[in-house]
Structure formats: C-alpha cells, structure tokens
A and B are shown apart, each in its own frame.
Chain A
Amino acid sequence: MQSALDPAGVEAQAVYWLFWICVIGGAIIWVGVMAVLFYAGRGGREAISQKAGQRIILIGGVLFPTVVLAALLSYALWLMPTVRPVTAQANSRLTLDVTSEQFWWRIAYPPEGDLPGFETANEIRLPLGERVGFRLHAADVIHSFWVPALGGKMDMIPGRTNFLSLEATRPGLYRAPCAEFCGTSHAVMGLTVVVMEQSAFDAWRKAQAQLQPVAAASGTAPRPATGNGPVVAADQTDRGQDGLAIFQRHGCAACHALRGTTAQGKIGPDLTRLGERATLAAGALPNTQEALAAFIRNPQKAKPGALMPAFPMIPPEELATLADYLRASP
C-alpha cells in the first residue's frame, strides 16, 4: 500500500527498474571484484609482469567503470523526462492544488466544464491512466508530498508553489506519508490516494462537485433571550436530533465545512462525505464511529499538537449521533 517496490504509476515503475538494475548490477560487480581479490590473495603464485598489471588496471580500473557509469548516466538521463515530467504539467487535463498544514492535507479540485470546483481533505482520488498535475503548497512549515507507489517526492514549502505530476497505472488505494518532519504529529500525517477507473472517477467527481456551500443566514439575528435552560436537559428531551444541528450547536462549523449545508468553516479539513474516506484525521485512525467520537472528544490523543480543541462537553449520545451523521453524510 505504501511501497516504492510495488509500483502503480509510470514514474514509480521507472524508478523501480532503475533500482533493480542498480541493485543487481552492483551485486554482480561486487561478486566479480571479490572473486578477483580472492584470486589475487592466494599465496604461492608467480608475480605477473608489469605490462599485464598495467593492462588490468587500465581495463578494470578505468575502462570498466567509465563504461558502466556512462551507461547508467545515459539510462538515468533517458529516464528523466518520465521521472520528472516538466512538460507534462501543461499537458495534464486535471491539476489539483494540495496544501499541507499541521497535520493534514487540503485538496482543491478545479472546476471543469459545467462542474464547479470543490475542496476536500486528506484523500485524493485520481483517474486511472491519466496524467494529473499537482500544485503543492504549505501553509505553515515545510512538508513533503510523496506517494511511493505512484512516483517521486516533492517538498512543500511555505510561500512557494512546487509542481509534480503523476500517472497511475493500476487501480487501488495507496498511502502517502508526509515525508519531511513537520512537528509532533508528523508520523500520523498521512494522505490516501485512491486510483479509480475513469468512469467511476467521473461519477465521484460529479457527485462531489454538486455539493456546494449553501448561503448562510448572516448577521446576528437575536435568539430567544431565555435560552432553553442547560443544554443537556434540552437534548434529553429531543434525542433524535439531526446531526447537523449538533454540528452547528457545538461550534464545529466555525472551522469545518460540510458542503451542501450552511457549515462552511475553512480553517480545518472539509468534512463533506467523510464516510467514503479510508481513514480519519489524515491517516491517524480507522474510519469508524468509535474512532471518530473518540477523536472529537480528545483530538490530542491520536494527533498530538493538532489545532482542534477537545470537546469533552458533548454528551456521549449526541457525540454518537454526530459521528454517525458525519460518516453517513452524502
């Protein structure tokens, strides 16, 4: 799932071959050198002539390395356009903006045709066999973007935009770790990349793009002055509350967006269609109701240093409703 030795992309495939050629070639040469050394070290032989010795040095020490290294250099130069396709950036039909933040990934799909663009988080979906460009940004510190199964690594640097493009050759689900130490939760900052058949991808993108933020009621319209007494009491009388109301009531919408609703906070990850994602909290947790509830209750446990505050004040039954709602949201 997260291995450069199980390539599923054009670039990773090229690196894969280069790797094995170097490993096997290096092993053969090492065995040869060792054999010669062993032969030379045997006692009871007559010394070879000076001329023969010079020839061995010329062939084994100059000619052979020159040929091998030149061959490797040519191979690598020939690979370079594949490994770092500088021109492909312009050619890719789809270019995503990926912004890394402590400790998650903000992903923006551009509009295409009638389809508006949208933002999501922590999971990238790609069409099979199509070259996709990535504009890489960082919001706070240096991170690094690396999908080992698909291709090379590229740093994400605050104040700078780096480019990378990838072409996936095999459908599947691949994990991508942040590859530059970025803080206390660096080790649990993972990105999921899902490679899908073109038709499935198109359907997914269309469904996502159709979910757009709903205009919120603005202003500070006064609320009932008396309130409802303590919140807990109110909830006990009305347990079947829909999750969105719970989401709004505890202030979640200040930071998180749920496209298709009035919740449109942009500070934390977009939570639209959270249920379809492979993991929670950028690879930190499995996508289960229990894990989501536990994370909301105390994010620092799974993700030390995360900006999200803890919500121990949400009553357990409300938390369960909220977690179900978020994972089921369309």
Chain B
Amino acid sequence: MDKRWPLMLAGSAAALAVVGLGAIWLGAIDVRASTGHWKITEWVLHGVMRASVKAAAGEAPQPLDPDLVAMGAGHFEQACLFCHGAPDTPRSALARAMLPPPPDLKEVVATWRDQDLFEIVQHGVRYSGMPAWPAKGRKDEVWAMVAFLRAYPDMTGDAYRRMATAPEVAGAVATGDRQPKADVLARCDACHAADKLADGSFVPQIQGQNQAYLAASLRAFLSGERESGMMRVAVNGLAPEELDQLAAHYATLARAPSPGPDRPAPTLSEAGRMLAERGDASRDIPACNSCHGAGSGNPLFPRLDGLSQATIATRLHLFQDKEAQPGGTPYRELMRKAARKLEERDIKALSAYYGSGQ
C-alpha cells in the first residue's frame, strides 16, 4: 500500500493537467475586461507586480536634475496622456475601461521610489497596457520621465500645459504643399521651440541647425537607426518627405545664442576651448572644430553653437555609452571614436565652452 503513493501522485497530477487543458480548450476561462478580476486574482497580480518591480529596480540614482522635467513633459503629452490623463486632462473613458485601468499618476507616483519608476518606464509591465520604452539604450530619456513623474503630483494644469505644449508655432503661417503641417510643427515646438530652451535645458535647439544634419537625423529616428524613445514617438506616422520638410523649415529659422550663462567658470571654459580648437593628441582626442568648426564645410556635421550645457554633456555621454546608438548620420562612428577618450572633466569643460555662447 505504502509503495503506491508515487503512482497516485502522478495520476492525480495527470488528471489535473487534463482538467486544466480541458478548461482552456473548452474556453471556460473568462478573459473579459468588463467583468474585472476576482478580488484574489487582483490581489495576486498586483502583489506580483509591485514585488517584481522593486526586486528588479537598480541602484538609487543621483538626485534628478529639475531641468529634466520639461523634457519629460513634452513626451508625456504625446505618448502617455491618452491612458494616464494629465494634470489638466482626465483619463479617457476608453483608458478607464482597460483591465487593469491605467492608474491616476497623482495617486500612485508617491508609492514608488525613483528607481522603481525607472524600472516601470524602461521595461513596461507585462499583462497590463504599460509598454516598454521604445529605445533600449536611452536611460537619460527614461530618467527625464522619472523626474517629470516626481513633479507630477504637485503640478497644476496650467504649469503642465505651458511645459508640454507650444503656445504658438513660429513660422507656421505659411501654407502650401512644401510646408510641414501645423499640427506637426506644434508637436516639434512643444519641446524644441527656442523660447522654451533655458540654461540647463536637455532639449537641443534645432532651429538654425544644418538642414542636411536635421534631415538625416529625423530619418534615422524614424528607422530606429538613431535611438530615442521620445523622438521615435514624435516622428511616428510621418513620411520621410515630411521629415525633409521639417528639416528645411527649422534650418531656415534664425539660430538663437546658447542659453547658457555669459560667463562660465573661466578655467573650465578655457580647458574646453583648448579641446575644441586643438584637441589633445597625447590622449587621442581630436579637436572638435576640425569637424564642427567652420573649416570642414560639411552640413552633415551638426553645429554646436546655440546648444545648452546639458545638451552637450548628455550627447557626449551617449556617444561614450556602448548601449546607446546616438548619431543619425553616416559619420557617427567618427564621433564615437572621438568621444571615447573624453574624461568627465573634459565633458564638463566642453559643455561649459560650447554651452556658454562662445
């Protein structure tokens, strides 16, 4: 008798499996969103989600730069608002009919640590509608979203609207087949309008940038060749010809000077000038201006004047990052090599130099 229990156990397991598969095959398992979960199912799923996110979250980050909030706001408006609502927009009825319904962020953000929010935004949440970040190597963008989310619960509707949209679209008056559509321009200007770019802004100025460079970059964002979750969403649904029109539009607008302080720390800026003009051959660092200066005459190299310190530093860090795929022109490997040997102090110096209107 005693010796037969393994057989009975195996028999019971097989019977259970048959019943389970039978239930699936007969369609007896309910997947309707309308009826909601059982309490216990919801408790298990939600518990698993919270525990899993906290377990997978990495190190606590450095304090988040408050200037990242604006960068996050523009993307939130275009990508997240439909499900989560915004400070001045309630969640749509459609989104609330999802299972699970996307949470009201004003309530839930405080229950997560920064690194948990990063984990959720970067990787998404399985079995819910939360998508993963559309670019693998752009941690900087995800951190901008975390900074935005932190500021979210205390944000007024007006403040949000000012940050996330363009009040009026510069140069959109002209109409015609060759002009970009006004709603597309509004989408770009929501983040890139020159009057939105402050000293520490993480959003690059695109007006007055070289047309060939802008066109190549936009096409690379569309194809995914240049990684960016934010820009991939922004160019989503646009035809390559529309991207070229956008490039032409922004290239003809006047370039504003760098929004940085007029007088950065003199020693830093001087070190930056040396690197920019001469490089440091002993460390295999070429002079930035040999490509980005007036001498090269190649419109595929972006001009660096008019960019903020934070933009320059972020781009240099991206070019050093093996996971990120920055650069949208065929010349990006050159920049990757050039940035390889830069140390943190070099990046500080270069961003101080270029970001202060020199």
> Which of A's residues lie within 8 Å of B, judged by CB?
216-223, 225-231, 245, 248-251, 253-255, 262, 265-267, 307, 309-310, 312-313
Contact = CB atoms under 8 A, between A and B. Distances in A.
Contact of A313 (B208, B284, B331): B331
Interface in B236-281: 248, 251-252, 254-255, 276-277, 279, 281
Interface of B: 208-213, 215-216, 248, 251-252, 254-255, 276-277, 279, 281, 284-287, 289-301, 303-305, 330-331, 333-334, 336-338, 354, 358
Scoring A227, A229, A265 by chain B CB atoms within 10 A of each residue's CB, the highest score goes to A227
B215 A251 contact: no
Nearest to B300: A231
Contacts of A228: 212, 299
Contacts of B296: 248-251, 253
A227 B358 CA distance: 21
Nearest to B214: A227
B335 to A, nearest CB: 9
B38 to A, nearest CB: 59
Given A226-B252, A267-B286, A313-B330, A220 B338 contact: no
Given A225-B251, A225-B252, A262 B295 contact: yes
A168 B349 CA distance: 49
Contacts of B287: 254, 265
Contacts of B294: 217, 219-223
5 contacts: A220-B358, A222-B305, A225-B210, A251-B334, A265-B281
A265 B286 contact: yes
A222 B216 CA distance: 20
Contacts of B333: 309-310
Contacts, number: 115
Contact of A266 (B255, B281, B303): B281
Contacts of A218: 277, 289
A133 B28 CA distance: 91
B295 A216 contact: yes
B306 to A, nearest CB: 9
Nearest to B284: A267
Contacts of A253: 290, 295-296
Contacts of B291: 251, 254
Contacts of A250: 296, 298, 331
A251 B300 CA distance: 11
B264 to A, nearest CB: 15
A220 B210 contact: no
A230 B244 CA distance: 10
Contacts of A310: 333
Given A248-B297, A313-B330, 14 more contacts: A220-B276, A220-B303, A220-B304, A222-B294, A222-B305, A223-B210, A225-B209, A231-B212, A231-B298, A231-B299, A249-B297, A253-B295, A255-B286, A266-B281
Given A230-B215, A313-B330, A267 B281 contact: yes
Given A254-B286, A309-B333, A312-B330, A221 B293 contact: yes
A267 B334 CA distance: 13
A265 B208 contact: no
A225 B247 CA distance: 11
A227 B251 CA distance: 8
Contact of A254 (B211, B215, B338): B338
Contacts of A312: 330
A219 B277 CA distance: 7
Contacts of B210: 223, 225-227
A220 B357 CA distance: 10
A310 B212 CA distance: 21
Contacts of A220: 276, 289, 292-294, 303-305, 354, 358
